[in-house]
Amino acid sequence: MSHRELDDMLGKGWRKPAFVRNPLLRWGLGLGFVAYLIAAVLTIEVDWGRVYEGLDRGWAFILAFTSPDFLSRWSDIWSGLLESIVMTVAASVVGIAISIPIGLGAARNIAPLPVYVICRGIVAISRALQEIIVAILLVAIFGFGPLAGFLTLSFATIGFLSKLLAEDIEAMDKAQAEAIRASGARWMQWINYGVQPQVMPRLVGLSMYRIDINFRESAILGLVGAGGIGATLNTAFDRYEYDTAAAILILIIGIVMALEYLSGIIRARVQ
């Protein structure tokens, strides 16, 4: 190796390795993405005049947060909020109660194959349908009111909780469960003393998280007539009463924050 070549190599600065190793794939992905972006941006029609006009209203809305109006529509807000909370509580209780047996059935190391397939099917259906679509169908079937919202949230809770519970059961320590079984426990005792203590902390944590999600979702179910604060919020927007809308949003954010704080405390105590 000549002196010159060595110098060239030494002079070559170190460079960070690329995120995608294969250069062909890297450039292909990059180019394809840029092409898609251009196509996507070109097909979006934006009426900039309308947006410009709307900026005033946007500013008015932001200002409304500094002076939210809780009082003038308080009875509407209160009844909507109460309905949301009631739906959340009832749906969480029922959803968690149903999702425990389904979660047990959807864990491959506990359930026999036919039960496993059925339970996984229920989970897949519940997860694939969004809450709002389920709510539309249930409102069409059961009529307006919180019952449709309650059923929607229960259904969504089943898919969420059963899947995560089943995954936790599948990942549990086999030795403990086997030890209980070796002591001659019946099936119920086996679940109760071998499996449940292992998954309980996570089940409690997930349930708290789901209650939090259920409350947030209950805020939109009113848009399709399934009860809750969403209907009040929608009316407030439609009437351009931004101060009332701001009050409702502040209440929602406050309740969600309180729930998150509470679930943090409970999870810390359980684990």
Q: Name the site residues for another protein (rule: CB under 8 A).
A: 16, 19, 36-37, 40-41, 43-47, 50-51, 54-55, 57-58, 61, 82-83, 86-87, 89-90, 93, 128-130, 132-133, 136-137, 140-143, 145-147, 150, 216-217, 219-220, 223-224, 227, 230, 233-234, 237-238, 240, 245, 249, 252-253, 256-257, 260
Cα–Cα dist 170/124, whole Å: 17
The torsion region of residue 228 among left (phi > 0), alpha (psi -120 to 50) and beta comes to left
Closest approach, Cβ 141 to another protein, in A, equals 5
Taking the complex as a whole, the smallest distance from the CB of residue 134 to another protein amounts, in Å, to 11
In the complex with another protein, which residue's Cβ is closer, 16 or 174? 16
Q: Whose Cβ is closer to another protein: residue 115's or residue 216's?
A: 216
Tokens 């929607």 found at: 152
* Whole-number Å distance between alpha carbons of 247 and 239: 15
Residue with tokens 């209650």: 211
**Residue with Cβ nearer another protein (115 or 185):** 185
Q: What are phi and psi of 20, to 5 degrees?
A: -105, 120
- CB of 187: closest distance to another protein in angstroms? 21
Q: Which helix (H) or strand (E) holds 180?
A: helix 174-182
Minimum CB–partner distance for residue 31 and another protein (Å): 16
In whole angstroms, what is the distance from residue 103 CA to residue 123 CA? 9
Quote the least distance from Cβ 129 to another protein, whole Å. Answer: 8
CB closer to another protein out of 111 and 248: 248
Q: Measured between alpha carbons, how far is residue 101 from residues 55, 65, 152, 158 in Å?
A: 52, 45, 19, 10
